[in-house]
C-alpha cells in the first residue's frame, strides 16, 4: 500500500461571510489547487465534507455543484457527513481513496454556511444529532459541555480557571492566524466574567458560529514528488464511534472514540503520544481540550488541566496544542473544521505556518463529532 501524501492546503477567511456554501467551497478548492499547482482536470475524486447545507441553506448536492463550478468533471464526487467530524471523516475517505488505488488525485473540501441563522436555530440544527430521549429535553451540545465540565472539575478538583486558560491560550494563538474568526487576545478575567451559557461554562468557553471552508489535496507519495519537495504524509489515521446517547457512557470524562481512534492512529503510524510535536484538538468547548489530551495519552486522566496551567501546551511549550487558534478562536464551520485542522498540521510540517510556526516533524489532529460520538484521529509526518 503506497503512502498517502498531502501536497496542498487552503482555508478561506473564517467568520461571518456573505458568500453561500458553494461559493465558499469553490474559494477554498481553487485556492488549494493553486497552492499545489494542480489543475482541476487532474482530480479523480472530489469530496465535500459538510454537515447540514440542506438544513442551513436549503442547498443539497453540494459536491456536484462544486465539481461544476471549478470544472472538475468527470471526477467522482461524494458528500461526507459525520456531523462536526465531517472534515476528519473526509480526510479518512480521501486517504482511503488514494491508499486503495481508486484515485491518484483526490481533493477534499470542507465547508459550512451558518451565520445567517440565529444562534438558537444553529444550535438546534446541531442538536438534531441527539437521541429523541435527549432532544425532547432541549439538550444541546453546549449543555453536554456544561454537564461534563462540572463533573470534571468536581471529580478531579480542577480549578475553574484552568478551563479559562484554554480559551486564553487559543485566542492568543489565533492572533497570528489571518484566517481566524477572532484575531484578538482575551484575558482570564474576561473569560471568567463573560455571560453564563451552560454553567460552569461561560461564553468564552465556547467556539463561535462560523462560515468558512478549507481544502486539502491528496495523492500517492510517488506522485507528490512530481509536484513538490515539500509535502506531508499521513502516517496513521483511524476513526471510532461512541454511544449515541451520551449519558450511557461508563465514564463521563472519557471519550471512547478519542481513545480508540487515537490508539488506531498511533498503531498504524508507529508513533506514540511522546512523538507528537504539535496537535490540533477539537476545542468546540474548552473542556474538550482536556478530554482529548487525556484520551490521546498526552496527559493522565484528570491531569490535563495541570499541563495547561504549566504552559505545556502553549505555542512555545513542550507540546503546542491548537497553534491555529483552534475552533475556539479560528471558528467552527462544522464541515470545514476537521479539514482546517489538517491544513494547520500540513502547514506546520511543510514550514508554511508563518508566525505560528513551531518545530515539528510529526503532527496530530483529532476531529470530534457530536459530543465524542464520532472521532477521527490523523497523524501526519513531514515528507522525506
Among 83, 85, 97, 140, binds other proteins (CB under 8 A): 140
Q: Is position 195 an interface residue for other proteins (rule: CB under 8 A)?
A: yes
Whole-number minimum distance, CB 345 to other proteins, in Å?
Answer: 31
Q: Is position 188 an interface residue for other proteins (rule: CB under 8 A)?
A: no
Largest Cα separation within the chain, whole Å, is 57
DSSP 60-106: --HHHHHHHHTT-TTSEEEEE-BTBTHHHHHHHHHHHHHHTTS-S-E
Q: Is position 167 an interface residue for other proteins (rule: CB under 8 A)?
A: no
Dihedral angle, C-alpha 336, 339, 341, 345, nearest 10 °? -150
Q: Is position 142 an interface residue for other proteins (rule: CB under 8 A)?
A: yes
Whole-number minimum distance, CB 325 to other proteins, in Å?
Answer: 22
The stretch near other proteins (CB under 8 A) out of 7-15, 89-97, 189-197, 293-301 is 189-197
CA 42/CA 49 separation, integer angstroms: 20
CA 57/CA 212 separation, integer angstroms: 14
Among 41, 60, 100, 128, binds other proteins (CB under 8 A): 128
Among 131, 160, 225, 303, binds other proteins (CB under 8 A): 131
Phi, psi of 377 (to 5 degrees): -115, 130
Among 1, 18, 58, 199, binds other proteins (CB under 8 A): 199
**CA separation, residue 58 to residues 22, 55, 119, 286, 366 (Å):** 12, 6, 18, 31, 29
Smaller CB distance to other proteins: residue 143 or 337?
143
**x-marked contacts with other proteins along 51-90 as a string, rule CB under 8 A:** ----x-----------------------------------
- Scanning residues 231 to 260, which ones bind other proteins (CB under 8 A)? 245-248, 252
Whole-number minimum distance, CB 120 to other proteins, in Å?
Answer: 5
* 148's grid cell: 461534563
With contact defined as beta carbons under 8 Å apart, do 377 and 247 qualify?
A: no
Smaller CB distance to other proteins: residue 9 or 331?
331
Smaller CB distance to other proteins: residue 139 or 217?
139
Q: Which residues, including other chains, have CB under 8 Å from residue 115's CB and lie 6 or more apart?
A: 15, 16, 17, 209, 210, 211
Q: Is position 197 an interface residue for other proteins (rule: CB under 8 A)?
A: yes
Whole-number minimum distance, CB 243 to other proteins, in Å?
Answer: 9
The residues facing 325 across adjacent strands are none
With contact defined as beta carbons under 8 Å apart, do 278 and 345 qualify?
A: yes
Among 16, 96, 123, 241, binds other proteins (CB under 8 A): 123
Q: Is position 196 an interface residue for other proteins (rule: CB under 8 A)?
A: yes
**CA separation, residue 220 to residues 6, 101, 111, 383 (Å):** 9, 9, 25, 12
- Scanning residues 295 to 354, which ones bind other proteins (CB under 8 A)? none
Whole-number minimum distance, CB 56 to other proteins, in Å?
Answer: 10
Among 39, 133, 222, 351, binds other proteins (CB under 8 A): 133
* 143's grid cell: 449543555
Whole-number minimum distance, CB 374 to other proteins, in Å?
Answer: 17
**What 8-state DSSP symbol labels residue 139?**
-
* Binding residues vs other proteins (CB under 8 A): 55, 119-121, 123-125, 127-128, 131-140, 142-143, 146-151, 154, 195-201, 245-248, 252
Amino acid at each position: 500500500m503506497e503512502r498517502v501524501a498531502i501536497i496542498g492546503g487552503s482555508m478561506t477567511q473564517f467568520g461571518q461571510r456573505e458568500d453561500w456554501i458553494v461559493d465558499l467551497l469553490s474559494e477554498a478548492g481553487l485556492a488549494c489547487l493553486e497552492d499545489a499547482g494542480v489543475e482541476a482536470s487532474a482530480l479523480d475524486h472530489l469530496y465535500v465534507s459538510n454537515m447540514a447545507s440542506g438544513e442551513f441553506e436549503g442547498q443539497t448536492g453540494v459536491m456536484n455543484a462544486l465539481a461544476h463550478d471549478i470544472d472538475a468533471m468527470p471526477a467522482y464526487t461524494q458528500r461526507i457527513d459525520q456531523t462536526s467530524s465531517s472534515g476528519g471523516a473526509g480526510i479518512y475517505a480521501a486517504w482511503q481513496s488514494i491508499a486503495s488505488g481508486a484515485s491518484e488525485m483526490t481533493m477534499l473540501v470542507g465547508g459550512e454556511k451558518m451565520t445567517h441563522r440565529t444562534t438558537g436555530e444553529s444550535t438546534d440544527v446541531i442538536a438534531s444529532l441527539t437521541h429523541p430521549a435527549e432532544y425532547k429535553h432541549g439538550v444541546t451540545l453546549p449543555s453536554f459541555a456544561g454537564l461534563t465540565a462540572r463533573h470534571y472539575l468536581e471529580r478531579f478538583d480542577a480549578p475553574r480557571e484552568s478551563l479559562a486558560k484554554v480559551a486564553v491560550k487559543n485566542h492568543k494563538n489565533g492572533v497570528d492566524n489571518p484566517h481566524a474568526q477572532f484575531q484578538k487576545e482575551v484575558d482570564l478575567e474576561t473569560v471568567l466574567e463573560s455571560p453564563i451559557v451552560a454553567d460552569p461554562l461561560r461564553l468564552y468557553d465556547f467556539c463561535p458560529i462560523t462560515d468558512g471552508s478549507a481544502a486539502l489535496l491528496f495523492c500517492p507519495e510517488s506522485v507528490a514528488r512530481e509536484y513538490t519537495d515539500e509535502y506531508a504524509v499521513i502516517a496513521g489515521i483511524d476513526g471510532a464511534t461512541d454511544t449515541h446517547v451520551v449519558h450511557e457512557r461508563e465514564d463521563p470524562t472519557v471519550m471512547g472514540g478519542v481513545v480508540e481512534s487515537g490508539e488506531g492512529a498511533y498503531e498504524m503510524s508507529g508513533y506514540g503520544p511522546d512523538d507528537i510535536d504539535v496537535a490540533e484538538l477539537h476545542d468546540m468547548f474548552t473542556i474538550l481540550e482536556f478530554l482529548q489530551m487525556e484520551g490521546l495519552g498526552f496527559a493522565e486522566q484528570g491531569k490535563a488541566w495541570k499541563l495547561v496551567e504549566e504552559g505545556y501546551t502553549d505555542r512555545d511549550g513542550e507540546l503546542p496544542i491548537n497553534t491555529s487558534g483552534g475552533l475556539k478562536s479560528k471558528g467552527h464551520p462544522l464541515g470545514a473544521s476537521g479539514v482546517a485542522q489538517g491544513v494547520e498540521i500540513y502547514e506546520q510540517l511543510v514550514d508554511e505556518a508563518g508566525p505560528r510556526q513551531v518545530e515539528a516533524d510529526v503532527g496530530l489532529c483529532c476531529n470530534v463529532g457530536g459530543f465524542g460520538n464520532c472521532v477521527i484521529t490523523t497523524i501526519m509526518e513531514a515528507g522525506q
